[in-house]
């Protein structure tokens, strides 16, 4: 296996653009790639532009009628069919929507293929992670579910066990739905509690379809306001034990940056330092549990200048085995780019000054009166016995 990492990038992914008033501003992708280049990380990885996913690939997850509806709306946004979630406030139709969405999906699928075939050890597609799209409809700013497509392609190639870990602030509902009945895929999602955030799913009791799929979905519903120590405590109380037991052949992770305390669309209080710590943990788990095979995706994140580019640049550096130190000053050339593109002042350093982030390990004991510990307990009690693990 090559020790190199792939970074999937094509400038055309910035064409995934719902319009000037939409929170998912594609400038976040351009600024991330700009920061990657400012640190020279594009020389520590192999930068690859893959082809868009074709119809046969899209149909690994998405219904043929839905793909046809996306194409129709893409050719003429006036023909967007809201029955498929298109032309809505969350997912406005735009010209070229199919092409941009298929391109992002193609990057994730090609990255998964390269990792499985040993052409690279790790791969990153920070334009991906569009985890809400369903087989028959768009949802939550997501048209095609590139994460599900990458996993489905791995299964098509003969992979027997794929683990998907989602740390976006929103539940990874589309990926869970795609593999609800498939024991070959373990989906784990840590997210803000569905009582307080879209998509109102991801309850601990959602554990997979009865029968072979039972125990294949694991959900940690975190109380609004959860900060660094609680977020890391929950991650380490659930994810490592599950992955050690499941022994995935490939680990796919989704790193939405919208858990951050500055994100305008959610209510967790996580810092860049904690996001970086979870990225490092996922990297270590890929080596410990999946022979190093790791596909890392982006996802949500709507603090498009201050948070997203820094978080995902850390992700690229970690995957490239060239991590950016938390105390590093942001290059002035990138801050100039930020101002030129957005007329905003960019951040001055690479994290929020909280490194190293401390948390109390689950093995040290728990407090049944603590809301965070109650959330972890609910998950462990619902899902762990189904996998033969102690709650």
Do 311 and 275 meet the contact criterion of CB atoms below 8 Å apart? yes
Could you give the CA distance from residue 45 to residue 157 in angstroms, rounded to a whole number? 25
Query: Cis omega (within 30 of 0) on the bond before 73?
Result: no
Does 22 qualify as catalytic in the annotation? no
Instruction: Give me the residue label for tokens 């599900």.
Output: 148
* For helices 272-289 and 228-246, angle between their N-to-C axes, nearest 10 degrees: 10
Do 285 and 240 meet the contact criterion of CB atoms below 8 Å apart? yes
Q: 247 pairs with which residues across the strands?
A: none
The continuous run of DSSP H or E covering 334 comes out as helix 332-342
Could you give the CA distance from residue 285 to residue 6 in angstroms, rounded to a whole number? 18
Catalytic, out of 132, 170, 171, 314: 132
Sheet bearing 122-125, strands edge to edge: 46-48, 5-8, 122-125, 294-297, 250-254, 162-166, 185-192, 217-222
Reference 16, options 90, 97, 91, 93; nearest CA is 97
Could you give the CA distance from residue 330 to residue 347 in angstroms, rounded to a whole number? 7
What b/e readout covers 67-98, taking b as 16+ CB neighbours within 10 angstroms? bebbebbbeebeebbeebbbbeebbbbbeebb
The continuous run of DSSP H or E covering 155 comes out as helix 146-156
- Which two structure tokens, joined as six digits, stand for 38? 């400012």
Could you give the CA distance from residue 165 to residue 61 in angstroms, rounded to a whole number? 18
Say how far residue 333 (Cα) sits from the centre of its chain.
28
Instruction: Give me the residue label for tokens 């976040």.
Output: 28
Could you give the CA distance from residue 141 to residue 46 in angstroms, rounded to a whole number? 29
Catalytic site residues?
Answer: 132
């Amino acid at each position: 296996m090559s020790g190199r990492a792939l970074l999937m990038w094509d400038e055309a992914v910035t064409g995934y653009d719902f319009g000037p008033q939409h929170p998912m501003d594609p400038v976040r992708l351009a600024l991330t790639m700009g920061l990657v280049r400012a640190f020279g990380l594009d020389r520590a990885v192999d930068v690859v532009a893959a082809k868009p996913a074709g119809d046969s690939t899209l149909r690994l997850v998405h219904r043929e009628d839905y793909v046809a509806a996306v194409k129709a709306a893409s050719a003429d946004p006036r023909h967007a069919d809201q029955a498929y979630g298109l032309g809505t406030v969350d997912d406005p139709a735009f010209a070229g929507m199919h092409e941009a969405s298929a391109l992002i999906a193609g990057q994730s699928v090609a990255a998964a293929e390269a990792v499985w075939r040993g052409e690279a050890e790790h791969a990153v597609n920070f334009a991906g992670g569009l985890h809400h799209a369903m087989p028959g409809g768009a949802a939550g700013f997501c048209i095609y579910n590139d994460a599900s497509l990458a996993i489905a392609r791995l299964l098509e190639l003969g992979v027997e066990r794929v683990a998907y870990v989602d740390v976006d602030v929103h539940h990874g509902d589309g990926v869970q739905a795609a593999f609800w009945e498939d024991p070959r895929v373990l989906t784990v999602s840590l997210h803000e509690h569905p009582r307080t955030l879209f998509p109102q799913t991801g309850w601990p009791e959602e554990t997979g379809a009865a029968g072979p799929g039972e125990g294949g979905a694991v959900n940690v519903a975190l109380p609004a306001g959860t900060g660094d120590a609680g977020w890391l405590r929950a991650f380490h109380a659930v994810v490592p034990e599950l992955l050690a037991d499941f022994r995935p052949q490939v680990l796919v992770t989704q790193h939405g940056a919208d858990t951050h305390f500055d994100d305008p669309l959610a209510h967790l209080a996580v810092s860049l330092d904690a996001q970086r710590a979870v990225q490092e943990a996922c990297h270590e788990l890929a080596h410990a549990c999946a022979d190093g095979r790791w596909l890392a995706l982006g996802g949500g994140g709507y603090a498009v200048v201050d948070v997203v580019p820094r978080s995902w640049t850390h992700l690229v550096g970690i995957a490239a085995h060239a991590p950016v130190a938390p105390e590093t000053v942001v290059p002035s050339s990138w801050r100039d780019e930020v101002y030129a593109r957005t007329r905003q002042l960019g951040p001055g350093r690479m994290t929020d000054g909280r490194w190293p982030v401390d948390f109390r390990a689950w093995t040290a004991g728990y407090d049944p009166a603590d809301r965070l510990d109650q959330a972890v307990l609910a998950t462990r009690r619902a899902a762990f016995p189904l996998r033969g693990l102690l709650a």
